[in-house]
Structure 1
Amino acid sequence: MTTVLHIIFWIIQAALAFYLLLPTFFLLVYGIKRLLGLQASPYAKAAAQPPAKEYSFAAIITAHKSLQLVPPLVDSLLRQTYRHFKVYVVADACEQVDVQFNHPNVIVLQPPAPLNAKIKSIDYAINNFVEAHDALIIFDTDNLVRPDYLAVLNTYFNLGYRAVQTNMLPKNTGSLMSKLDAAGNLYYNFVDRRMRMELGMSAHIWGLGIAIETALYRSVVYNNFLGGFDKKVQADIVTRVPVLAYAEEAVVYDEKIESGEALEKQRTRWLHAYFKYFRYAWDVLWKGLRTFNFNLIFFGLQLMRPPLLLQLGGAFICLAISLFTGGALAWVAIIALFIITFFAIVRVMSNGTEIVKALLYLPVFMYYQARALLRIKKAGKSYLKTENTQVVYIEDILKRTGH
């Protein structure tokens, strides 16, 4: 029995060490490639050539109960330099559909009965397309996009990619929590998207700003319509395409959490989704092992990766046990190296120093995540929706960022 426990402990240690040291490996690769002047993104060279095809895009906006934030997003889409698209606003369970868009490219859809599910809203939009679109893009109401967003996506689809995740940046960073929330996004953009793309592997998707061939999206079959949208989509799509691409040049802005209470609610939902849909990770890993596909094996292992709070918590537990069993110095080194790497990645990915300075308050952020973990059962019994309130137009953000 003691031998079995010892083996299990070593397996857990190896898994945690792998997850915590991988970002350092990626950062080293990133530094070496930049030192050698190697350009990894295929976009710059492809954008210099006229596209072989102009893809027809359907921008789907899933609104639930409120259309307050929809006008700024529609405005940013209508400012696109690329013109071959339609915007579909699904006003689900909205009592007052009082927005008017006097533009032929904007279609407002109001389901006759409440759908109360993002997946159903997307399907409703697809079933009401006014033309045959080559690809669809999924947005939340609080998003905004830069004027070249669709033009960049058209370039990536012309390169042969069938599913492309775009680059999510913070729309607001005025509060401490929004800065810390943005820091987490920057970290995961680097680890799960930029470096995956540079190494020719599939990138993780967000639940927004993902562009997918319409026929490919239709091939995804849902058995559960309440949550887990992004996890189900990426688990299915990554097994159907050679590479799930990441377009860093296509920027979509997303509203960040403003308060600790909102953070706790959001992370409670995310933690619940991680455990509830863990089986998708096994499905991807198993298919990768059966087909000897390294991309799928790696993707599956990363889907299994515990949330950062649990990784660090597990690392400190291993450190405590190692004080008695040996190897404590190794865990001190791993934890210290991860913290240094986290700060370095956020610095590399951020344009200024405000977000980096906010990292000094990470213990506060972790406190609310720990509270979220204790409330995880509540997420299975109630709909923990993140409330967004920042009514900002793309013109304001472009002036602020200098783009």
Structure 2
Amino acid sequence: MTLYLLVFAVAGHFPRRRVRGGAPRTRFLVLIPAYREDGVILHTAREALKQVYPQELYRVAVIADSLQPETILKLRELPIETVEVQFEISTKSKSINAALKTITGTFDHTLVLDADNVMAPDFLAQMDVYAQQGEQAIQGHRVAKNQNTGFAVLDGLSEEINNHIFREGHRALGLSAALIGSGMSFSYDYFRDLMHSIEAVGGFDKELELKLLRNGTRIAYATEAYVYDEKVQQAEVFGNQRRRWLSAQFHYLGAYFTSGVYHLLAKGNVDYMDKIVQFVLLPRVILSGLILLLAFLSGALHVVAGYAMYPGTAFWGGLLLGNVAAMLLSVPKKFYRLQTLKAVLHLPKAFLIFLLTIFRLKGANKRFIHTPHTTNDIK
């Protein structure tokens, strides 16, 4: 696990090829699923209309699930499309499929945002460059919208480490970038056809990603296309969110492992199998904590009893150093500041939350676990 992270952490620093496009021409349908997001959706919708991109080339559509009547009325006052949906059990995949059946028009790409996401003014222009190159799946560069608590800083830091290892690093070595759940764009017809077969309760983006990779579709990474995402601010929300993510990760590992091995051996689909390998990886907080604990125990045994835990203190120490090196190589310069150092003090608590989460995964992937959003301003 440590070697895997270290290889891609180093690769993320390789020079990348500049992608250039012509005049804007991609017609975007911007879908914003909003489940009980009355506190942020109006701001998100208004901000989505501020793109430095020809207005005739994009349409914003809010998928309103369980929003208050007054929120619906205010949305309908905006020059956007509002699609009202209602389900016995709400999921993002159901909302998206309902919208794709309802909305009429001619589009080249479908862009999916979360209800709290704010696109940088040139976001669509940056995504258009990749779409013009024929990319069918493009992941934008998602960054933190807020850093107002220690957990928010840690969440934003984790996102940027993921961006470096699983997006920059992977693309540098010719593999697909990982999807993130929002700020992602797909060829309109292809996406619509794929979504018909997706009924995920949690982690719809993981199922979508697996099917894209199984089909041999490369996922590009638009590193200069920034979209701002609200980071979790409280420990309880952090735990619920990670519970949902881990549950989906292990669910799809079990569901697709055999298929991944088959496609690797029979068809040479390394991209697809690499995604399966990612599902095997422990969360970095857990991995780092366990390695630190094992290195400490091995060293203590060596001092007290004269022998170390197999395969030796040097091994565990080397793993610890490799893991730390992978993380440091992946941290953007902007995070090297006092605020980050203070946030690191929350790591022991995050480690305990992750440990407890592992024992609470049962059933989490069978019901929709909503992460509430409250922040509008980019801080």
Question: Structure 2 length normalisation: TM-score?
Answer: 0.87
Residue 219, structure 1, aligned to residue 193, structure 2: yes
Which deviates the most, 20-29 or 248-257?
Answer: 20-29
Secondary structure at the residue paired with 1:227? coil
1:27 aligns with 2:1: no
Gaps in structure 2 of 5+ consecutive residues:
299-306
Distance 1:187-1:146 versus aligned 2 partners, 3 A rule: same
Cα distance in 1 for partners of 2:77, 2:370 equals 30
- CA shift, 1:264, in A, is 1.2
Q: Deviations over 1:202-255 (max 9, x none)?
A: 011011111011221123243644112011100001223442111111111111
Instruction: Out of 87-96 and 304-313, give the one that drifted further.
Output: 304-313
Q: Is the 8 A contact 1:231 1:280 kept in 2?
A: no
Q: Distance between the aligned counterparts of 2:269 and 2:366, measured in 1?
A: 38
Amino acid at match of 2:229: D
2:277 aligned partner: 301
- Alignment match, 2:344: 359
The structural deviation recorded for 1:152 is 0.6
Residue number among 72, 86, 97 corresponding to 1:123 in the alignment? 97
Contact kept in structure 2, 1:80 and 1:150, CA below 8 Å: yes
2:304 maps to which residue?
A: none
**108-117 or 228-237: which moved more?**
108-117
Q: Distance in 1 between the 2:232 and 2:323 partners?
A: 24
- Tell whether the 8 Å contact from 2:152 to 2:232 is kept in structure 1 after alignment: yes
The reply on whether 1:245 has 2:220 as its aligned counterpart is: yes
| 1:166 maps to 2:140 | yes
SS at match of 2:209: helix
The 1:92–1:189 alpha-carbon spacing in structure 2 relative to 1, beyond 3 Å, is same
Unaligned runs of 5+ in 1: 1-18
Aligned position for 1:288: 264
Instruction: Name the amino acid aligned to 1:90.
Output: I
Give distance in 1, aligned partners of 2:221 and 2:327: 21
Partner of 1:326 in structure 2?
311
Q: Secondary structure at the match of 2:221?
A: strand
Q: Secondary structure at the match of 1:238?
A: helix
SS for the counterpart of 2:157 is helix
1:389 alignment partner AA: T
Q: What is the percentage of aligned positions where both structures have the same residue?
A: 24
CA contact (8 A) 1:76 1:146 kept: no
- Cα 1:246–1:108 change in 2 (3 A) is same
Q: 1:55 to 1:341 in 2, by over 3 A?
A: same
- Alignment match of 1:87 (pick from 60, 64, 73): 60
Cα deviation 1:75-132 (Å, max 9, x = unaligned)? 222111112111111111224223235454x101112655611101001111122302
CA deviation vs aligned residue, 1:296-354 (integer Å, no higher than 9, x gap)? 33333223323334534664687568934333311211112212331342244748553
Distance 1:81 1:287 in 2: 42
Matched, 1:273 2:248: yes
Q: Does the 8 A contact of 1:281 with 1:303 survive in 2? A: no
SS at match of 1:203: coil
For the residues of structure 2 that align with 1:157 and 1:218, how far apart are their CA atoms?
Answer: 16
Aligned-CA RMSD value: 2.5
CA contact (8 A) 2:44 2:117 kept: yes
Change (3 A) 1:54 1:386: same
Which residue identity is paired with 1:251?
A: Y
Tell me if the contact between 1:167 and 1:247 (Cα under 8 Å) persists in the aligned partners.
yes
Quick one: which of 171, 179, 202 aligns to 1:197?
A: 171
What is the rounded CA distance, in whole Å, between the counterparts of 2:208 and 2:117 in structure 1?
20
SS of the residue aligned with 1:184?
Answer: helix
